Amino acid sequence: MRSVVTFFLMIVSILGTAFAMAALAADRQTGSRAEGLDPYPVATAVTIFKGSIVAVNDAGFAIPAADAAAARVIGVADEKVVNAGADGAKIIRVRSGEAYDLAATSITQAMVGDIMHVVDDQTFDEATGTNGVVAGRLMEFISTTRGMLFIPRGGCRKAGIPDGTYSANEQAILADTLN
């Protein structure tokens, strides 16, 4: 057993040095961006209003959030952008990693902590909707038609993950991990 462990450690050591980059020998300018404010290219023929819920489509372009196939919520628009040009002709700044005061259709205090779903670009609900687009997690109940929705940094998972190939317990764990 000792020789197997020694062999394993030797392989890890060799692979570690084979793929390691050289350490810095001088100062390096490292780019960064503000926490929770990210730029996304906007889809063609789209208007996204400041304060609206924003999603990305399968091609990775920002669109107004909707219960649409393959949409994935990424946050709340920090500005209004009108893209009359091609995909990516305009960029929008989107905030995430915070709770946002948004409209709801019919929520209750008992839903605090639950996953919410997109209705449109300003509204969420506990009901899954046709495509099950996850909007975020209800952090505070304000009224039956208003709540504080937490949208995680980088957005929410795509709808349909996890799927029926997992047991109910596995689905619950994955859903909490991915949201």
Q: Where along the chain do its domains lie?
A: 37-174
Radius of gyration of the chain measured on its C-alpha atoms: 21
Mean pLDDT, range 20-24, rounded to an integer: 76
Going from the C-alpha of 102 to that of each of 67, 135, 138, 142, the distances in angstroms are 16, 11, 10, 10
Mean pLDDT, range 42-51, rounded to an integer: 97
What's the confidence (pLDDT) of residue 150?
A: 95
Q: Render 118-178 in DSSP notation, one character per residue.
A: EEETTEEESS-TTT--EEEEEEEEEETTEEEEEE-TT--PPTT-S-TTS-HHHHHHHHHHH
pLDDT (tens digit per residue) in 66-124: 999 889 999 999 999 999 999 999 999 999 999 999 999 999 999 999 999 999 999 99
pTM attached to this predicted model: 0.73
What's the confidence (pLDDT) of residue 11?
A: 56
Q: Which of 102, 116, 128 shows the shortest CA–CA distance to 156?
A: 116
